[in-house]
Amino acid sequence: MLYFAYASNLSKKYMASRCPNALPLKKVILKNYKLTFNELADIIPFEGEEVVGGLYLISKQELEKLDILEGYPDLYDRIVVELEDEFGNKYEALAYTMVEKSLQAPPDNYYKILVEGYEDWGIELERLEKAKNME
């Protein structure tokens, strides 16, 4: 199954420590959503914005492991999102979104993992910094 990572799981090293058999596929865009922080990263519907992330191929067992690690269903809920790559190809994938919504800056050690992930996938840090600054 396809999984959309937009936060710490973008770090290929971090994701490999959680799901060793996850296969990173390509950089993708989630349209009409915005990256925010509620201490941890979250995505919220927001017309005209977009979240850039990574598309992974994961097994059912890895999804079950991610559910536990992401605190599903209490901390994060699972949703199906439609993504697009740079060529306009569309994909449906699972993503996690926080159950409780509020704005709170991320801890530095967590933010560093996100920066690593953005660098792994070649995503501009400007989007991440904008979300951190709650713009």
Domain harbouring 35, CATH code: 3.10.490.10
Q: Would you say 5 is a known binding-site residue?
A: yes
Residue 91 assigned ligand-binding role: no
Select which of 39, 70, 86, 126 is catalytic. 70
Domain count along the chain: 1
Per residue in 62-73, pLDDT (tens digit) is 999 999 999 999
Strand partners, 21: none
Strand locations in 58-131 (E): 76-84, 90-98
At position 42, the amino acid (one-letter code) is D
Domain containing 40 equals 2-132
Q: pTM (2 decimals)?
A: 0.97
Gyration radius of the chain's alpha carbons = 14
- For residues 31, 36, 38, 40, the Cα torsion angle rounded to the nearest 10 degrees is 80
Residue 26's pLDDT is 97
Based on the residue annotation, tell me whether 39 is a catalytic residue of this protein. no
Alpha helices in 12-101 (DSSP H): 12-18, 60-69
